[in-house]
Structure 1
Amino acid sequence: MEGFEKIDLKPNTNTPTNSPSNDNPKIVNRQNRFRFVKNKKFLTALGVFLLVFLFGILIPGFLTYVSAKKTYAQVNVTVAALKSQNIDLASKELDKTRVALQGTQNNLRLLALLRIVPFANTYYNDADHMIKAGFYAIDAGEIFLDSIGPYADVLGLKGKGTFAGGTAQDRIQTAVKTMGKITPKIDDISTKLDLVKNEVENVNPNDYPEFLASGKVKSSISKLKTLTEDGATFVSEARPLIKVMPELLGEPKEKKYLILFQNDNELRPTGGFITAYSVFRIDTGVIHVDVSDDIYKLDATLASKPVAPEPIRKYLANVPRLNLRDSNLSPDFEESMKTFSDLYEDAGGYKKVDGIIALDTDALVAVMNILGDIQVGGTTYTTKEDERCKCPQVIYALSEETGRRVQYIREDRKGIIGDLMYEIMNKAFSSEPSVYWGPLFQTMLSQVAQKHVLFYLYNEEAQKGIEALNAGGKILPWEGDYFHLNEANFGGAKSNLYITQGITQEYNIAKDGTIEKTVTVSYKNPFPPSNCNLELEGALCLNATLRDWFRVYVPKGSQLVSMKGTSVKAKTYDSLGKTTFEGFLEVRPLGTQTLTVKYILPFKLAKSSPLPVFYQKQPGSAGIDYSVRVNGRDLMKFQLYTDKKFNIDYP
C-alpha cells in the first residue's frame, strides 16, 4: 500500500537477535580483563623464560666457558712441567689442574637444564664425559708421579728422590731392590686410562660440523680418541714388562744378556753386520762384563755349520756355510735371533743367557755425545767429525782397529768394541745423575724408538711388553697400505756410511678405487772410493761398491707390475704375512742408482673411508727422506726416523 515502506523479513546476519549489544559496559570490561590476563600470562611466561635462559643457560654457559679456558691453560702449564722433567713441580701443577677442572665441572652442572633440551643435550653430555675423562687422567698422572718420585735422582729427573746417598751404583741397587713395591701400580694406571678411554669413546666427532672453528673441534676430538685408545692399549700391553722389570735387572737373582754390536755402516736386515759380542751380567741393576770379543772368534768355535741360505751363497763370495755373523737375514729381529740362538748354543764360547740385546754405531755415538770422550787402552775416542770419513772419529777409529789390513794376526780384532762399551758404562755410572742420567735415559728411549737398540728377551711376558714398546724389531701386521724396504750390504765395505737415499711413494687412485703404487728409491754415493786392495798393507776399505740385496714388503696379495733398477730377475713371494718383491742392485762410489717398483694393492679405496698407511723403518737405517704423492699432487714430506702411520683420503 502506498504510504507504507516494504518490510524485509530476513534476519540480520550481522547482529544476533539474542546477543546483547557490544555497547554494554560490562561486556567491554570483561573482554578487556581477559586480554589483560592473557597478556599478563604471556609476559610472565616470557619473563620466566628470559630468567631461566639468563640464569640457567647464558650466565652458567659463560662461566663454564671462562672456567674451561682457565683449565685448558692450567693443563698446558702441567704438561710443560712434565716436559721439563720436574717431578715436584709437575705434581703441584697437577693438583692445580684438578682444582681448575673441579671448578669447570661445578659450572657445567649449572647447565643441567640442557640435559632435557633436544640437540643441546648432546653437547652437554659430551662436555660431561670429557670432564670425567679429565679426572681419570689426573688420577693416572698422580699415581704415575707418586710412583716414580722416589726414583727421580736415579732417572736423572728433577725431584727430591729417596736414593740420593752413596755412589751411583749404590743408588741403582737400592732403587732396583725397592722397585717391586711400586710396579703393581701399573695396574691402577691401566685401569684409570681405560676409564679415560671409555668416557672419550662416548663423544662422537661427527656431531661437530666442519664449519665449527674450521673443523678444528672435530679434528681435535678425533685425535683425542685415537690418543686415549692408543695410550690405554700401550700401557695395558706394557704391563707385563714393567711388572718383571726388577727381575730383568737382576733382583733377586742375577741375569745375563748377550749384547750384539751391529755395524749399521755395513747394513744388514736387523740393523747391521754383527761384528762383536759381549756377555753382560746384571746383579741388582749393576752391570758386569763377563765376556767381550770378536764375532769371528765365536764363529771359529762352531763345530759344524749349516749350509748358508741361497742369498748368502749367491751374493757373498766364498761363504758356503752359515756363520753367526751372517745369521740376521730375517728383517724380523726375533726370527733372526732365533736363528742366531740355534747356532750360538753349539758354539764353544756359549754362555747361557736370558736374552739378546743388539745396538749399532748410532746408539754408541748418541751416548758418547752426552758423556764425552772415552779412553780405551790408551786410545781416545770422540764424536768429533773426522775429515778422513766425514763421520764421527770413533767410527773411523773403530774401522781402523777392526778393518785395516795388516801382515799379522790381530788378537784384539773387534774385541775393542766390547771394551769401549764397558768403559762407556763405567763413565755413566761414575757420572753425576742429576747432570747426565736424565739425558742418557731420554737418549736411550729415542734410540730404541729409532730401532738402533733392539731386544729379544726369553721371558715371554717381558717380550710382550718389549713389543708393545715397538722395541722388538718386529714386522707388524697392518690393515691398509704397508711398506718396508729391507736391505743387506753384501759388499763387505762400510759403504752405507757414504750413501744417501730418498724414497718417493706415488699413489695413483682410479675412479673405481683401484690403487696403483709406484715406489722410487734413489741412491747416491758422492764420495771417491777407498783403497780396497786386499793385498796392500795398511789398506782400509770403507767406501766401495754397495752390493745391495733388497726386499720390499707390501700388503699381502699385491700384484707386481714392474721392477726397474734390479740387476737380477725380480722375485715375488709371501713372507712374514706380507707379499715380498726381491732384487739386487749395485751403487758405486761417485755414482747413483734408481730402483722403481710398480705394483697394484690388493684392495680398493672407498670414497667414504680413508686409506690407513704404515711405513716401517729398517733397524740401523738413517732418516731416509720420504715424499708421498697422491694422483700427481704432493701430500707430505718427512724423514723416516721411526715407524710412521697416517691416512690418505679419497682424492
Structure 2
Amino acid sequence: MHPVINFLSSHRQPKKRFSLKWVILLFGSGFLLIFFWTLFFGFKTIYFALEGKQAAAKAYDSLAFMQIDLGKEHIKEAAYSFQVATSSFEKLSFFSWIPGLEDLYKNGYDFLLVTQTAIKALQQPLNLMVDLGRFLQDEDNSLQSLFQNLSPSQTIGSLPQEKKQLILKRFSAASGDLQATLAQIDLLLQTSSLHIQKNKTSLFYPLWSSLRTQLVRLRTELVPVALFAQFVPHFAGIENPQNFLLLFLNNQELRPGGGFIGSYGIVTIENGEIKELYTLDSYTLDNLVSHNFSEEPPKPLQEYNATHTWFVRDANWSPDFAISSQEVLRLFYKEQAALQTTHEVLSQPRTFAGVIGLTPTFVSDILSLTGSLEVDGQIFTAENIAEAMEYQVEKAYEEKGIHPLQRKEILGRAVEQVRDKLMALPFSKWKEVGIAIEKALQEKQLILYHENQMFQDRLTQLGLAGRMIPNDFDYLAVVDANLASLKTDPVVERTLTYKVEMKNNKPIATVRMHYNHTGSFDWKTTRYRTYVRFYVPKGSIFIENSSSHLSPVEEWRELGFMVFGTFVSIEPGKSNEVVLSYELPERITQSLLNGTYNLSVFKQIGTNNYPLTLDLDFDKDVRRASPPEEQINWGDDQYVLNTILDQDKSIQIGF
C-alpha cells in the first residue's frame, strides 16, 4: 500500500512566511505613516500657534501706539495662524481614541479653539475702528483719515468740533458690538478657568494660565471703552444739549446716598463738550426759600440732627442712588418753584436728564492724572484736596474776609480748572482716565442716575447705578449716616463681620459692625454720631441686640428689605460696635436644603474700602464656592473669607 502524498503541504510553509513578512511590512509602514503624519501635523500645529501668538503680540503693540491699520493686519495674521493650527491639530484626532491621551488631546484642542475664538472676537471691534463706513454714509471718511494727524501727545481740547462729534457718534454706534465682544470674552474666561481648575498637573496648565492672563488683560482694556460707548448717547448730548445735576457728595460727612450734599453743579453738555457749568452752595437755594418752604424730613434727621425742614442738602437719605436722586430732583424742583427772588442761575427753569454723584475720593484720583491745581493761592493736590478744600470753605474764607454766601466759589473755580486740565490731557493719558473712571464706578465713588428708564436699567445691570435690588437669597447692607459729627468720617475705621450658623435647623445670622475712632477733637472732627441701618432679607426675624451700647433697635420694611436701625456714638480715641442677631427667612432654609447658598453684600456709596469677614457654617460640607476660601480652609463644613469691601460682593456656595 502506497502512502498518501499531500501535494499542498510543500506550499503552505512558504505562504506563512510570505504572510508574516507582509504583516510586518504593513505594520511597519503604518507606524511610519502615523509617525510622519504626527510629526508633520504636530510641527505644523506648533509652528502656526507660535506664529499666531507672535502676531497677536504685534497687534497689541500696534494698537497701543494707535497704528490701527498695522494692528488690523497683525490680527488677520494671528487669526489665520490659529485657524491653521487648529485644523492641523484636528488631523491628530486619532489620539483622542487612545486611553490616557484623550484628555491631553481634548485639552490641546480646546486651548486652540478658545484662542482662535478670542482672536476672532477682536476682529469685530477692530473692524469698527478701521471702517467708518459702518457709521457714516460718506465713504471718504475712515479711521485713518480721522486719526492721520493725531499723535499720543495731542489733546481732546485741540480737536475740531466736527471730529469730536464724529468720534462720539462712532463710539455710540459701536456700543452693541463692544458689549457682544465683552460677553464672548467672559465666556472664554469661564472656559479657561474651568480648564485651570481641572488640569493643574496637565502639560497645558501653563498655557491655560497664560491665556487667561491675556484674556483678563484684554477685558481690562476693553471695559472702559465699552462703558464709554454705552454712556455717549445718554451723557454726551450728541443730538441735543443735556442738563445734569452734579452732586458733590462729601464722604467726609457720610450720608446714606454717598455724602452730605454741601454743593452741587448744574452742567450742560453738547456734543461731548461742557457748554455751561455752574457750581452752587446747597445752602443758597435752601436759605432763599426757607421762610416759605415745608417738607418733613426723615425721623432720624429730626431726632439726631435737629433738622426741621427737609432740603436738597439732606435729600440723599436713601442708600439706593436712584431713589435718593429722585428725591434730590423732587426737592430741587419744589424749592425752585418756591423761589420768590430772582437768581441768575436758580431762577432759570431746567429739566435734568440725570444726576451724577462724585466724591472727593474720585476727584483725588483724577488729580493724580491731571496734576495739582492752584486756586486763589491755595495748592490742591491728589493728597490734600478733601481737607484743603474743607479748610477753605469752613475757616479760610473768614481769614480772607470773604462773605459767607461766597465761601464756596473757590470750589467752582477748582472744578473749572479740573475740566480744563482734562481737556488738555494728551491722548496717551486717556486710557488712565478711563481706568480711573471705571474704578470709581465700581467702588461707588462715582455714581450715575438717568431719567431714561431703558438706560437706567442698563446701568443697574452693569452694577453702576448704586441700586439695592432685593432677591430671594441672603443679603446684607450696612448704611451709615453721619449726623452732627462734622467731617469725622476719614478718621473712623470700620470692620464688618457676618456670621451664619445653624441652630435648631434654622440659619441664624449675626452681623457685627465695629467702629474705631482714630481722631481727636479739632475744627473738623468730633465724636462720631451715626444712625446705622442694616438691610437684610425680607422676612428676617430680629432676635437680639448684643451691642455694647443700649440704644433701641427700630424695625421696618424698605426697598423690599427688612431694616434694623439704631443710633451709636463713638468718642475720639475709642471704639464701639453694633452686634445684631436675627433668623433668616424660610426661603433661605429651603435653599440650603436644596444644596445652595447665595449672599450679596452691598457697599455703601462713598465709603472708603474696609475689611469684611464672612464666617458661614451650615453643618454641611462645602463642595464648591465662589470666591473660593484659602486652600488651607478647604474640606470642612465652614466657609471663611477675609476680604475687603471695595465694591458689591456676591458669594455662591454649593454643598
Shorter-chain TM-score bucket reads: 0.7 to 0.9
1:393 aligns to 2:377 (yes or no): no
The answer to whether the 8 Å contact 1:493/1:544 transfers is: yes
Find 1:590's aligned residue among 573, 590, 598. Answer: 573
Q: How does 1:424-443 map to 2 (within 5 A)?
A: 424-429=418-423, 431-434=424-427, 436-443=429-436
Match of 2:27 in 1: 46
Q: How does 1:73-88 map to 2 (within 5 A)?
A: 88=68
1:107 aligns to 2:88 (yes or no): yes
Match of 2:305 in 1: 316
The answer to whether the 8 Å contact 2:603/2:647 transfers is: yes
Deviations 1:101-125 (A, max 9, x none): 2342242232255688896786687
1:506 aligns to 2:499 (yes or no): yes
Find 1:341's aligned residue among 329, 332, 344. Answer: 329
Q: Against the structure 1 CA distance between its residues 213 and 79, is the aligned structure 2 distance closer, same or farther, given a 3 Å change threshold?
A: farther
Alpha-carbon separation, structure 1, partners of 2:148 and 2:456: 30
- Please say which of residues 68-77 and 588-597 is displaced more in the overlay: 68-77
Alpha-carbon separation, structure 2, partners of 1:578 and 1:60: 61
Match of 2:374 in 1: 375
Match of 1:277 in 2: 264
Pairwise CA distance, 1:327: 1.0
Q: Secondary structure at the match of 2:416?
A: helix
Find 2:532's aligned residue among 541, 546, 550. Answer: 550
Match of 2:413 in 1: 419
Match of 1:457 in 2: 450
Find 1:305's aligned residue among 291, 294, 297. Answer: 294
Q: Against the structure 1 CA distance between its residues 187 and 508, is the aligned structure 2 distance closer, same or farther, given a 3 Å change threshold?
A: same
Pairwise CA distance, 1:268: 0.4
The answer to whether the 8 Å contact 1:139/1:192 transfers is: no
Q: Over aligned residue pairs, what C-alpha RMSD do you find?
A: 4.6
- Please say which of residues 475-484 and 622-631 is displaced more in the overlay: 475-484
The answer to whether the 8 Å contact 1:176/1:246 transfers is: no
Alpha-carbon separation, structure 2, partners of 1:223 and 1:554: 36
Pairwise CA distance, 1:245: 1.8
Find 1:521's aligned residue among 506, 513, 516. Answer: 513
The answer to whether the 8 Å contact 1:381/1:397 transfers is: no
- Segments of 5+ residues of structure 1 without an aligned counterpart are 1-18, 149-158, 531-539
Pairwise CA distance, 1:606: 5.4
Q: Secondary structure at the match of 2:325?
A: helix
The answer to whether the 8 Å contact 1:617/1:640 transfers is: yes
Match of 2:162 in 1: 174
Alpha-carbon separation, structure 2, partners of 1:561 and 1:474: 28
Q: Against the structure 1 CA distance between its residues 491 and 190, is the aligned structure 2 distance closer, same or farther, given a 3 Å change threshold?
A: closer
Q: Against the structure 1 CA distance between its residues 613 and 38, is the aligned structure 2 distance closer, same or farther, given a 3 Å change threshold?
A: farther
Bigger Cα Rg: 1
The answer to whether the 8 Å contact 1:276/1:415 transfers is: no
Find 1:266's aligned residue among 237, 244, 253. Answer: 253
Q: How does 1:611-650 map to 2 (within 5 A)?
A: 611-631=597-617, 635-648=640-653, 650=655
Pairwise CA distance, 1:96: 4.8
Alpha-carbon separation, structure 2, partners of 1:342 and 1:81: 50
Q: Against the structure 1 CA distance between its residues 94 and 569, is the aligned structure 2 distance closer, same or farther, given a 3 Å change threshold?
A: farther
Pairwise CA distance, 1:329: 0.9
1:581 aligns to 2:564 (yes or no): yes
1:292 aligns to 2:303 (yes or no): no
Q: Secondary structure at the match of 1:171?
A: coil
Deviations 1:63-108 (A, max 9, x none): 53565466557656766777x6766586565445324423422422
The answer to whether the 8 Å contact 1:525/1:589 transfers is: yes
Q: Secondary structure at the match of 1:368?
A: helix
Pairwise CA distance, 1:342: 1.3
The answer to whether the 8 Å contact 1:289/1:422 transfers is: no
Alpha-carbon separation, structure 2, partners of 1:204 and 1:492: 47
1:64 aligns to 2:45 (yes or no): yes
Match of 1:533 in 2: none
Alpha-carbon separation, structure 2, partners of 1:590 and 1:644: 31
Match of 1:184 in 2: 173
Alpha-carbon separation, structure 2, partners of 1:571 and 1:28: 110
Alpha-carbon separation, structure 2, partners of 1:451 and 1:611: 26
The answer to whether the 8 Å contact 1:487/1:549 transfers is: yes
The answer to whether the 8 Å contact 2:470/2:537 transfers is: no
- Please say which of residues 88-97 and 610-619 is displaced more in the overlay: 88-97
Alpha-carbon separation, structure 2, partners of 1:401 and 1:216: 61
Q: Against the structure 1 CA distance between its residues 435 and 80, is the aligned structure 2 distance closer, same or farther, given a 3 Å change threshold?
A: closer
Letter in 2 for 1:644: K
Deviations 1:512-558 (A, max 9, x none): 7x65443322211122112xxxxxxxxx3x11121111122234444
Match of 1:562 in 2: 544
TM-score (norm 2): 0.76
Q: Secondary structure at the match of 2:28?
A: helix
The answer to whether the 8 Å contact 2:485/2:527 transfers is: no
Deviations 1:347-389 (A, max 9, x none): 2335332221111111222222333332334443334559xxx
Q: Against the structure 1 CA distance between its residues 625 and 206, is the aligned structure 2 distance closer, same or farther, given a 3 Å change threshold?
A: closer
- Please say which of residues 129-138 and 404-413 is displaced more in the overlay: 404-413
- Please say which of residues 585-594 and 364-373 is displaced more in the overlay: 364-373
Q: Secondary structure at the match of 2:614?
A: strand
Q: Secondary structure at the match of 1:169?
A: coil
Match of 1:471 in 2: 464
Letter in 2 for 1:637: N
- Segments of 5+ residues of structure 2 without an aligned counterpart are 133-145, 340-345, 618-632
Alpha-carbon separation, structure 1, partners of 2:169 and 2:22: 72
Letter in 1 for 2:229: I
Letter in 2 for 1:426: D
1:130 aligns to 2:114 (yes or no): yes
Alpha-carbon separation, structure 2, partners of 1:409 and 1:204: 61
Q: Secondary structure at the match of 1:483?
A: strand
Pairwise CA distance, 1:624: 0.7
Letter in 2 for 1:642: Q
1:363 aligns to 2:355 (yes or no): no
Q: Secondary structure at the match of 2:516?
A: strand
The answer to whether the 8 Å contact 1:520/1:597 transfers is: yes
Quote the sequence identity (%).
19
Match of 1:11 in 2: none
The answer to whether the 8 Å contact 2:86/2:113 transfers is: no
Alpha-carbon separation, structure 1, partners of 2:504 and 2:362: 46
Q: Against the structure 1 CA distance between its residues 160 and 607, is the aligned structure 2 distance closer, same or farther, given a 3 Å change threshold?
A: farther
Pairwise CA distance, 1:283: 2.8
Q: Against the structure 1 CA distance between its residues 57 and 598, is the aligned structure 2 distance closer, same or farther, given a 3 Å change threshold?
A: farther
Q: Secondary structure at the match of 2:8?
A: helix
Deviations 1:208-233 (A, max 9, x none): 85664399699979989x989x99x9
Letter in 2 for 1:568: S
